[in-house]
Amino acid sequence: MQVKTHPKTYVPKTDGLWCKLGMSFGFAGTWKIVWKTNARHPVDAQRIIMNRFRLGFGVGLALAGASAYATDLNLAATADDAFTAFVSTSANSVGGSFASGNSWSTTFTGSTTLTPGVTNYLHIDAFDVAGAPSMFIAELGLSDADFWFDNNTQSALTGDAAWTASTVGFGGTATTIDNLGANGSSPWGSRSGISSSASFIWTPGTVADHRYFTLRINTSSVPEPASLAVIGFGAAILLRRRKSSKA
Ligand SMILES: [Ca+2]
């Protein structure tokens, strides 16, 4: 284990995680405490930051923004004939769109930042414009381990068992999903930029109907960065009170 010797570096004896605190000065005399840590999980980050306070580093904590916790969802997809991708914090509501495409021979990409601390849902509205055949195919990735798909990894493909589908709407009555073959199979051939293990999928029903595909994205429930900052300020006030009551 590499032991950091920087005086402002907190080194727990057990797991090698460290946290560095410093000050950042802004306009009109404003300032904030900024921090850097090798902890990959927010719970670990919170623990070592709180340890700093217990060590007597009694100042207010203002996190340098929610970016430290941001997890991005990346999508590469196409449909015969068109799709729009949304991300939502509800299985039943559509959420905000972040990617779309309307030409099956082109792979469309998009990325969006997930809402931390809650389950997110990827919703796909796929629809046929020009008649049979019809399909949707996609490869998904998550930028870090704060979120995971039902297969407990940061990667997902169409054809995975975790997808649900409806012809009514998101969260509507579920329907079966037809697996039309792996990427590369006829009539669409190999769609570039999408894993060869991804499958072309659709559902039974009238061709012209919209298909509503959903994939759940899981996370552990953790305090939001804003709550962490409040906890930090609370700890600082407690430390000040203890000091002044001793004096
Ligand atoms: Ca079609």
Report the run of H or E that residue 239 belongs to, with start and end.
Answer: helix 225-246
Q: Looking at the structure, tell me whether residues 55 and 171 fall in a common domain.
A: no
pLDDT band at 67 (very low <50, low <70, confident <90, very high): very low
Q: Is 197 helix (H, G, I), strand (E, B) or coil?
A: coil
Ligand 1 centroid to Cα of residue 82, in Å, is: 9
pTM above 0.75, yes or no: no
Mean pLDDT value across the chain: 82
pLDDT of residue 139: 98
Q: Looking at the structure, tell me whether residues 144 and 109 fall in a common domain.
A: yes
Distance CA(11)–CA(20), nearest Å, equals 10
The mean per-residue pLDDT over the stretch 209-225 comes to 86
The string of pLDDT tens digits covering residues 85-122 is 999 999 999 999 999 999 999 999 999 999 999 999 99
Instruction: Examine the pLDDT at 83 and tell me if it is beyond 60.
Output: yes
Of the ranges 16-30, 41-55, 86-100, 215-229, which is most confident?
86-100
Ligand 1 centroid to Cα of residue 16, in Å, is: 55
Q: Looking at the structure, tell me whether residues 63 and 75 fall in a common domain.
A: no
Ligand 1 centroid to Cα of residue 210, in Å, is: 12
Q: Is residue 119 part of a domain?
A: yes
What is the chain's Cα-based Rg? 24
Q: Looking at the structure, tell me whether residues 161 and 50 fall in a common domain.
A: no
Q: Is 141 exposed, middle or buried (0-12, 13-18, 19+ CB in 10 A)?
A: middle
Q: Which of 30-34, 99-103, 173-177 has the lowest mean pLDDT?
A: 30-34
Q: Looking at the structure, tell me whether residues 135 and 152 fall in a common domain.
A: yes
Instruction: Examine the pLDDT at 126 and tell me if it is beyond 80.
Output: yes
Ligand 1 centroid to Cα of residue 132, in Å, is: 4
> Which domain, by its residues, includes 127?
70-219
**Which residues, 6 or more positions from 108, have their beta carbon under 8 angstroms from its beta carbon?**
76, 77, 78, 83, 99, 100, 101
Distance CA(106)–CA(202), nearest Å, equals 18
pLDDT of residue 60: 40
Ligand 1 centroid to Cα of residue 105, in Å, is: 12
Q: Which of 53, 42, 44 is nearest to 14 (CA)?
A: 44
Ligand 1 centroid to Cα of residue 111, in Å, is: 25
How close are the terminal C-alpha atoms of the chain, in Å?
A: 41
